Structure 1
């Protein structure tokens, strides 16, 4: 796993840099617009393009060198970040052009993410996939812990330009790591594409993931379960920053986010050392139940302590459930088609997130925040439980989404193809 660890280390630093920039820019947008809708619009621009481009990216990941896809993708994302810094320094940075370059960077990241996850299956022995998946979650955890605190601190010292310089420095290090190593690659043939025509072949490969899942009811059940769960809790996730800023300062937001994100690192380290249990579906169902529970708890009161505890456990659960899902796919899907299959999975499961983000902003601004204002319709009833005033409408959204998530998890458990997925679908050779 030496090659994997070297690549992993470079990606850790790069992700910390990019997440710090993203977090700082999201705070900048919210403070300069004071609009939850525009804040969620930025989140939408960083997620939707990558989701839409994933099916196309999956085809190229299975056709081309995964190492060079990662190198080119990282380089292009760096150019987008550099452009944003230039717009800020020249005084021309606005929400619309920030969203535009965030969208382009998101598209590049779609290629990079698929290439990275597909290459992991080739780099790591099957019996070590659980640990490799945990290390990938550790990478995310480190970024989630460091980036909020770094962004909050650097915004008042070096500001956006300085943050971008740090981001680009970490990106260069990641590129050097990729240039120093070589991936084992899947050998592909062009014979079929040459016989039926390039575009016909390309379209077949884009739709390959759909047909692959349809033939495997357990996997399509897992995709649907994760997709709907993402929709239920995605809106609450997008509203975390406005909720915390309703009862805490920007510096407190960074501290709360870092403390909460340490849960992600702790659970990732535990899973990395332990390796997890064999029954991944049991882990997924249990984790999704507690996801809903802690989202309810996070929205219940405007308390920094209660929110930090709840968010800590949300992040603690995140790498456990994501790792379990990833292990199932890496075991059940053949390496030579993982790019296309993983692309379809990402497009569907994460495709519900932008929809949730799109709904969450206007819901908070126009319905739930007025509802839970001091003179709102919910002040005399629901307000007696969760409080009234700024941010309480968002808190109510957290509670509702969490309850729905718990109910849906129980419903999904009743579907036998999903519950028995690991028994009914054999591992790939």
Structure 2
């Protein structure tokens, strides 16, 4: 108990920030979930639904390299407050358009792009704030807590959003989102003190030169760079998966909105279990090995269950196997980065990381939507009675199932290739990450 009290005292400010921001993220996630369903019901297109995520990520990736420089210069608290407020204003706009009957999908594209731009500045500020508020000895615990909240959000989002959609409407989901924002805003403004660290000279450097310093750091630290590129390759596969999942589950026999909600809930439960495990387990002997093994296990299971499974139980089993190890990977990746990158460089390096690690996500969403609508579904429609139909079924959704099989193979190959990267393994020798 004394140890627990000491830990809580040392993490007091972080815990307030983490709890309230997680609550706000839950509201935002519920709104996004509801709007994805609304969009697919309006258009019936995997590509047009995937465009919601593409519009969110595109400005985030393009501007991240510069946002980190500004984040290192600006007040972290002010940056987060302004960005969160702007996101809330976008949510209010969606509510007003819905209420007046004028909401169209292109409105969501524009608003998601603006939200993505604000997230470009908010994310590095939040990442550096976590490092500032957390003693190094608690990095793994904090990584586990962040994964825990993300997992709990994944569990609760489809349950709460589906319930509110069924019994009230999408407007109620959005109002709940705005209430969670208010709670987070007040807590950050009045109850969280964030000490401002020196910017390592970035205050006097031109923006382009400072942005270049983040890239130069990665260039001279190949282990970190290659680990980021590994995640970029995984994100490509994962974003194609995310684009195809609603199209398959909403279309296939035994699927629908409820089934999609159940699969997402089971995914969250699996991540919740993984988050609890990483929070209580001791540091692994090899963080790099843990990262590689967790991703290989994930890539070699879920996609095949979704491809070959003919109903909800098998889809849920795949979700458990595919996601239970992700929080373990994420927490160990977090420790590697925070332990290696100097805190005065983290804003710039994290922003360079965001550009390199996440640029594949909009590509994956676009590719996934195009493949499902224009390649895989038309192809499977011509295979009635053939061996592929026996494996992946027939009708709408069969093409997405075939795509999941291909993604499983891609994921395995990606993990095996990067597992042999000597620069990544050099991190074990250069740094004491225990």
Alignment of 1:178-193 (within 5 A): 178-179=188-189, 180-188=191-199
Q: Distance in 1 between matches of 2:65 and 2:310?
A: 41
Q: Distance in 2 between matches of 1:379 and 1:392?
A: 13
CA contact (8 A) 1:149 1:258 kept: yes
Aligned residue pairs total: 419
Cα displacement (A) at 1:25 = 0.2
Cα displacement (A) at 1:313 = 2.4
Establish whether residue 204 from structure 1 lines up as the match of residue 198 from structure 2. no
Q: Secondary structure at the match of 1:239?
A: helix
What TM-score does the superposition give when structure 2 sets the normalisation length?
0.93
Q: Secondary structure at the match of 1:372?
A: helix
Q: Report the aligned-residue RMSD.
A: 1.7
Q: Corresponding residue for 2:27? A: 17
Q: Distance in 2 between matches of 1:30 and 1:251?
A: 14
Q: Distance in 2 between matches of 1:207 and 1:358?
A: 29
Q: Distance in 1 between matches of 2:213 and 2:103?
A: 40
Establish whether residue 157 from structure 1 lines up as the match of residue 167 from structure 2. yes
Q: Distance in 2 between matches of 1:220 and 1:256?
A: 33
Q: Corresponding residue for 2:372? A: 364
Q: Secondary structure at the match of 1:390?
A: coil
Establish whether residue 169 from structure 1 lines up as the match of residue 176 from structure 2. no
Q: 1:255 aligns with which of 257, 262, 279?
A: 262
After superposition, the C-alpha distances for 1:176-212 in whole angstroms (9 at most, x for unaligned) are 111121112212376x755x6xxxx110112222111
Runs ≥4 in structure 1, deviation > 6 angstroms? none
- The change in CA–CA distance for 1:249 and 1:189 in structure 2 (over 3 A counts) is closer
Flag structure 1 segments of 5+ consecutive residues without an equivalent: none
Q: Corresponding residue for 2:237? A: 232
CA contact (8 A) 1:371 1:379 kept: no
Q: Distance in 2 between matches of 1:31 and 1:312?
A: 27
Q: Corresponding residue for 1:339? A: 347
CA contact (8 A) 2:305 2:317 kept: no
CA contact (8 A) 2:66 2:208 kept: no
Cα displacement (A) at 1:378 = 7.2
CA contact (8 A) 1:218 1:425 kept: no
CA contact (8 A) 1:372 1:379 kept: no
Q: Corresponding residue for 1:296? A: 304
What TM-score does the superposition give when structure 1 sets the normalisation length?
0.94
CA contact (8 A) 1:297 1:310 kept: yes
